[in-house]
Amino acid sequence: MMTSAGRPRPAALLLLGLGVACAAPDRASAQERLTLEEAMQRARNGTVEARALASGIEEAGARVREAQSGYWPRIDLAETVQRGNHPVFAFSSLLAQRQFRQADFAIASLNHPEPVTNTRTAVSVEQPVYDAGRTALQVQAAQLGRDLAEATQVDARQDLAFHAAQAFVRVLQLEAVVQATDAAVEAALSDRQRTLSRRDAGLVTEADALAMDVHLADMRQRQIAAAGDLAVARLRLADTIGAPLGAAIVPIRPTALPAPADSETLVRDAVAGHPQRRRADVQRQLADNAHSAARAGLLPTIGVQAGWEFNGATLGSQRSSWIVGADIRLNVFRGFADSARIAAATHAQSRAAAEHERVDRQIEVGVRAAMAQLAAARAREAAGRAALAQARESQRIIRDRYDGGLATATDVLRAAEASLDAAARSTAAEMDVILQTVALDRALGRL
């Protein structure tokens, strides 16, 4: 099945192509038509990555509730059972049980007490009264962390949607390539048959027939390669939208997309409402919060405590006691750690402000660049359509000239290659317009 030059014969390539087609499962009855908007929506909400982002929001909400617990009193319950003859333990246990006797003051009893068993049930309550705003700052920081997670989720979901759009457009492009290579194979078969007829009539040589065979084999190779690339692209599209990997998805080509509005209006709207701008705002507020928390470390704290204890040799013989008190703490000196913490927080504020300004510029650059790329893609699309029409007309003319003996087989082959290349460039330009339109929406923060 191989020629002397090592190239596969056309019949071998045809059998190989038929084998690949037969090996593919028949899913025509289970095909799913999918629009670009549906693909992006499913990527935002129905994938593993989307579920992970949603869990991050829930986690941040739980941390807010954790921080709010600082407003509530802390209540602990402890139950212990101890036995020993340690002098201090024995002395204090008897006192706590209210069982201390006159004889227990004897020096021998104090130094060598009998073993004592003590069961202790204790309830303690602590309530902060004033903490210089530390709890409020912790709650605010947790809320800002939740806002940051939400802004990050919006930005990440837009990335998921854009990746889905890329996979969607890739499938559309390869479907067009497959159609073009199918048409090229049919045209090559027609050219080959025409050349064989002219060879049999003695109008061309065997070399022309062999050249047509080589061209036909090349077109079939491209046909098989395009079909393989399309199968891989469909698999990746299914993965990006969270569909079963074996799903037969048929993407629907979007209709003509409108041209963008005025660039200055787009830039102004993007800077005002972009998720990245929101994230930069939250990060700056977090820096302010950290600075306030560092300064709060210099202020005193006040709290109250209360405790109830029940001590006895057994649970049934326990006697109660209680204690209440207040606690005031003032930070006098901690090795200059507080001043260093305040200085670090101040620099973090400056960094957050600079990052905020940088994000604004990045958004503007992204929008203007996306608009320029979209305009270039539209221009390439128009040029590609014109070039394709010219290439196909040139191919028709050269075929007619070849039939009339006014052109060579080389001219026919060159025209066929030019037509196929023009079709590929035209398709790529059309798909690029779709993708660049989505990229502009991504730069605007609208996906």
Pairing of strands 116-130, 32-34: unpaired
pLDDT at 258: 67
| pLDDT class of 256 with cuts at 50, 70, 90 | low
What are the boundaries of each domain within the chain? 29-444
Instruction: Examine the pLDDT at 311 and tell me if it is beyond 90.
Output: yes
Bigger pLDDT: 267 vs 283: 283
pLDDT number for residue 379: 92
pLDDT score of 28: 42
Average pLDDT for 29-44? 86
Mean of pLDDT values over 51-66: 92
Q: For residues 278 and 284, give the distance between their C-alpha atoms in angstroms, rounded to a whole number.
A: 10
How confident is the prediction for the chain on average, in pLDDT?
Answer: 87
In this prediction, residues 405-417 reach a mean pLDDT of: 87
Output the pLDDT for position 407.
85
pLDDT grade, residue 90 (50/70/90)? very high
Reading the block at residue 423, the tokens are 């079709």
> Residues 314-330: what's their mean pLDDT?
91
* pTM more than 0.85: no
DSSP element (H, E) containing 101: none
Q: What is the mean pLDDT of residues 36-57?
A: 91
Q: Taking 50 as the threshold, does the pLDDT of residue 95 lie above it?
A: yes
* 443: pLDDT strictly greater than 70: yes
Q: What's the pLDDT band for 410 if we cut at 50, 70, 90? A: confident
Q: Residues with Cβ < 8 Å from 338, sequence gap 6 or more? A: 294, 297, 298, 331
Question: Does residue 262 have a pLDDT over 80?
Answer: no
pLDDT, position 15: 42
pLDDT digits (tens, 9 = 90+) for 273-306: 888 889 999 999 999 999 999 999 899 999 999 9
Predicted confidence at residue 11, as pLDDT, reads 44
pLDDT at 30: 62
Closest CA to 217 of 11, 409, 1, 419: 11
Contacts of 210 (CB under 8 A, 6+ apart): none
Least confident residue range of 1-10, 156-165, 223-232, 364-373: 1-10
pLDDT greater than 60 at residue 168:
yes
Give the residue-averaged pLDDT of 208-237: 92
> What is the model's pLDDT at position 228?
94
What DSSP designation does 112 have?
A: S
Answer for the pair 158, 442: CB distance below 8 angstroms, yes or no.
yes
CA distance 70 to 128: 8
Decide which of 310 and 1 is more confident. Answer: 310
Report the C-alpha gap between 203 and 195 in whole angstroms.
9
In the block, tokens 């202020």 appear at 299
Please tell me the predicted confidence (pLDDT) of residue 23.
Answer: 42
Q: Is the pLDDT of residue 13 over 80?
A: no
Pick the CATH number of 29-444 from 1.10.10.10, 1.20.1600.10, 3.30.300.30, 3.90.550.10: 1.20.1600.10
